[in-house]
Structure 1
């Protein structure tokens, strides 16, 4: 594993036109919604800032500096490793612009402000699994989550041999990752997103994935070969890794988990 450290990017923006969860809690910014006593951004920021291997922390949001006006996040402004960057409506474009502006800062670990349960064990496991990859994504297998939290509802990606949910952790290990961001940006701009994905990755590969003819590892390896990059999927054993805060029920669950951790 690369022991030189990494740059962390926290995606703290929200959807154009307002975020439903922020509106539910009467908060102008989703990243500042209080969870178990402090804003979501403060939870993620403190986890990353406490690590010695985090060289820099970049907070990306539409009004990034305003997020640090909150009494519980103001300390981030005084943290020498933290910078803020404004983004527009395209988060993909903002990520690409950020890593282009910081060519000496690879590798990058990408996460989100609503990834409140992020902890050192998740990051350490992900770093080991992502080692050597141009791009890597963290996932949790369905049976892992359901064993720990029966009945919890997530969006599942079906492959041969298992179903998986994203863990809001991405690894951008080299400038080659920009190839994937360019495709992601192209899909983001298309109204017919399913058709855009077919065009980006090839109809044959997309149909094989849809028909569950490929395992997760096989699919990731084929995508990597098609793009000429080293791509990895990293499975995390922590069920909490795929529980972010997107709706009120998530908020209640995460608060209960955090209280249990404190006890």
Structure 2
């Protein structure tokens, strides 16, 4: 990568009521407070602190409401764009021209750190599509109480870490395909099956690793696709459920205590 990479934060609302918002008085998940401030603030702060990241765009149906959040005032090179209903179509419309790379994350990826961003972008070099993932043993060795959706392959079970690198307009066919299956995003086998019977059979029989499976899926679209294994177990802990938020706040508290210890 020769210069800073542009970043998009997906901060929209999915159809239907979000149980996390019940009784909160907050209009959208991105503004739900976690560890004392809205989720979105944590994510944007981490991105802005990463020297590899350039312009940041918040993508949401009601981008004006997010732009009015006081905690985002004064953050350099921060922009807002209005999305459509679907993640894939909205992201496709926001892709940079040509082959310029784009970093994508989500507003509920509240434990994101500059170190995670740097590790992911180093691992994503020379790819058209890269996906950050955490292997189950890495997570459960530290947070056995965490409940994730796992993809089972030879050599490990993997969970997504809400970090993606996309190579500009090259990925449009993949996003179009994803738009047709994203409703099943939490159903691992359905996602794998959508890429064809060989990939499904290979996953079921553990014939290949997840790196090999993702590379094979990418070739279907003429893309160099790779998985970037993340070393920090919290990279795959996002704020989907009340139990997630409780764990995230405990992790933030531990981070604060560690920082105090380093200063003493």
| TM-score, L = length of structure 1 | 0.90
Where in structure 2 are the equivalents of 1:92-107 lying within 5 Å?
92-99=88-95, 102-103=96-97, 106-107=100-101
What residue number does 1:64 align with? 63
Tell whether the 8 Å contact from 2:101 to 2:166 is kept in structure 1 after alignment.
Answer: yes
Aligned mates of 2:91, 2:168 — CA distance in 1: 13
Aligned to 1:163: 157
- State the Cα deviation string for residues 110-140 of structure 1 (Å, max 9, x = none): 0001101000111111001100100000000
Closer, same or farther in 2 for the Cα pair 1:24/1:114, shift >3 Å? farther
Matches within 5 A, 1:21-40: 21-40=20-39
Instruction: Summarize the Cα distance change of 1:118–1:205 in structure 2 as closer, same or farther, 3 Å threshold.
Output: same
Q: Assess if the C-alpha contact under 8 Å between 1:61 and 1:86 holds in 2.
A: yes
Deviation at 1:207?
Answer: 2.0
CA contact (8 A) 1:134 1:175 kept: no
Alpha-carbon distance in structure 1 between the residues aligned to 2:52 and 2:214: 27
Distance 1:259 1:3 in 2: 36
Structure 1, unmatched stretches of 5+, are none
State which drifts further: 147-156 or 209-218: 209-218
1:108 to 102, 106, 119: 102
Going from structure 1 to structure 2, the CA distance change for 1:197 and 1:214 (only over 3 Å counts) comes to closer
- Where does the alignment leave 5 or more consecutive residues of structure 2 unmatched? 258-264
Matches within 5 A, 1:126-141: 126-141=120-135
Alignment of 1:161-200 (within 5 A): 161-188=155-182, 198=193, 200=194
2:227 is matched with 233
Secondary structure of 1:227 counterpart: coil
Query: Is the partner of 2:206 in helix, strand or coil?
Result: coil
**How many corresponding residue pairs?**
254
1:150 maps to which residue? 144
* CA displacement 1:8-45 (0-9 Å, x = unmatched): 10011111133221225332110011111111101111
**How big is each residue's C-alpha offset from its partner over 1:167-190, in whole Å with a ceiling of 9 and x where there is no partner?**
000110242222211110122479
- Residues 50 and 118 in structure 2, CA contact (< 8 A), matched pair in contact too: no
